[in-house]
Chains A and B, each alone.
Chain A
Amino acid sequence: DVKVTQSSRYLVKRTGEKVFLECVQDMDHENMFWYRQDPGLGLRLIYFSYDVKMKEKGDIPEGYSVSREKKERFSLILESASTNQTSMYLCASSFAAGPRTDTQYFGPGTRLTVL
C-alpha cells in the first residue's frame, strides 16, 4: 500500500516566519507534487518534481520554493509566510512510467494558518 506522509497535520505560524513542510513517500515514485487547496478554487499546483534535484513551477509558485535532495522526500518552503498562504497543503506522488503513471497518491494534508 502506497504511503505518503506529511510532517504535520496542523501548523500555526506568524507572518514573516520561514516555514518548512515535509513530505515523504515510500513507493519509490519519481514524481512528487505540492498543491494547495482552498474553498471554491480546488487544488492548485505549486511545484512538482520529476526526479531528484529536479523541479518545475506549477501554476502558483510565487512565495514558495521546494527542495528534493532525496527521491523519497519533497519539501515545500515558505520563505516569509504571509496571511494569504493560510491554506490546506497537500503533497502527492506518482510513478513516471508504466500503466499507472497518472494516478496520484496524496498525503493527509497540512492545514497551515499564518497569523
Chain B
Amino acid sequence: RKEVEQDPGPFNVPEGATVAFNCTYSNSASQSFFWYRQDCRKEPKLLMSVYSSGNEDGRFTAQLNRASQYISLLIRDSKLSDSATYLCVVNRLPRVRFGAGTRLTVKP
C-alpha cells in the first residue's frame, strides 16, 4: 500500500463548479501536510499548507483530518486556469511523501 494515496482522476468539470479532492496517508506520525499544483510540463509549486483547523485562500480550502488520516482540497467557482495536477504532500521529516496527483480539467 502506498504511503500517500490520491484519486488520479481525471476530474473534468465545467467552469464555476465546485470540486473536491481527497488524499489519504498511512503514517500517523506524519507531521505536516501540503497541496502542490503542477501544470503540464512544469515543476510543482506550493498551493497551500494544510492545518487541522482548516485554512482558506480565496476559492481554495484545505482541511486535515488526523483521526481519519486524510487531507482534502476544495476548489469553489472553478476557473479554466485551475486546470492542473494537484499533488498532496505528507511530511515526516526527513522524509517527504508525494501523492501521484489528481488531474483536474476545467472546461468552458
Contact = CB atoms under 8 A, between A and B. Distances in A.
Contacts, number: 43
B1 interface: no
A95 interface: no
A41 B42 CA distance: 17
Interface stretch (B43-51, B59-67, B68-76): B43-51
A64 to B, nearest CB: 17
A42 B98 contact: yes
A58 B49 CA distance: 23
B32 interface: yes
Main secondary structure of the interface of B (DSSP, over half): strand
B87 interface: yes
Given A106-B43, A109-B43, A48 B99 contact: no
Interface in A1-54: 33, 35, 40-45, 48, 50
Interface of B: 4, 8, 32, 34, 42-46, 49, 87, 91, 93-96, 98-101
- 9 A-B pairs with the lowest CB-CB distances in the bound complex, closest first: A42-B100, A106-B43, A43-B98, A42-B98, A102-B32, A103-B46, A102-B91, A106-B44, A108-B43
Interface of A: 33, 35, 40-45, 48, 50, 56, 58-59, 90, 102-104, 106-109
